[in-house]
């Protein structure tokens, strides 16, 4: 019976010792994951989008005083009693109204263009670039 207990203890010690050795061997063989640097996102300027947005907002804001001018000219046209001046007043009213409409429509178009430039359009990569690195070409030109 002594032999069975001794054999069982030796077997248990051997197995637990092997597991520890195997675990240490696995831990030594496993390399840490390599650190892969993430490329920095390219910062693009949105100058064209901002310029379109401000110009569009300015044109929309300018359409309101021009519309009020057209309303005043129309009131003057309705109050005109001289038959020779009626045509000139009507033409002035129509020009101011068309200018207000054109200003409003152009401003809205510029606002839509600014939204498209800023949020929808993907910027194209630079066609020409200069890189001063030892393993690269100094000037790159893409078509």
Instruction: Specify the pTM.
Output: 0.59
- State mean pLDDT over 69-97: 95
Question: Which of 40-44, 49-53, 86-90, 132-136 is the least confident region?
Answer: 132-136
Q: What is the pLDDT of residues 2-50, one digit of tens each?
A: 677 777 766 676 666 655 555 555 556 667 788 888 888 777 788 999 9
pLDDT, greater one: 129 or 63: 63
pLDDT at res. 18: 53
- Average of per-residue pLDDT across 122-135: 67
Q: How far apart are the first and last CA of the chain?
A: 88
- CA-to-CA dists, residue 21 to 8, 14, 25, angstroms: 20, 10, 6
DSSP labels, 67-127 = HHHHHHHHHHHHH---HHHHHHHHHHHHHHHHHHHHHHHHHHHHHHHHHIIIIIPPPPPPS
d(CA 45, CA 47): 6
With bands split at pLDDT 50, 70 and 90, how would you rate the model's confidence at 1?
low
Q: What would the pLDDT profile of 93-122 be if each residue is shown by its tens digit? A: 999 999 999 999 999 999 999 999 999 987
User: In this model, does residue 138 exceed pLDDT 80?
Assistant: no
> What value does the mean pLDDT take over residues 82-92?
93
pLDDT value, residue 39: 82
């Amino acid at each position: 019976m002594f032999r069975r207990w001794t054999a069982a203890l030796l077997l248990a010690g051997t197995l637990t010792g092997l597991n520890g050795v195997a675990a240490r061997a696995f831990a030594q063989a496993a390399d840490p994951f390599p650190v892969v640097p993430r490329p920095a996102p390219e910062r693009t300027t949105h100058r064209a989008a901002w310029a379109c947005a401000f110009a569009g907002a300015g044109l929309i804001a300018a359409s309101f005083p021009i519309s009020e001018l057209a309303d005043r000219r129309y009131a003057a046209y309705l109050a005109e009693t001289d038959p020779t001046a009626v045509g000139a007043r009507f033409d002035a009213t129509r020009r101011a109204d068309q200018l207000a409409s054109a200003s409003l429509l152009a401003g809205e178009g510029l606002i839509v263009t600014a939204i498209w430039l800023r949020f929808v359009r993907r910027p194209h990569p630079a066609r020409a670039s200069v890189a001063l690195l030892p393993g690269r070409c100094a000037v790159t030109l893409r078509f």
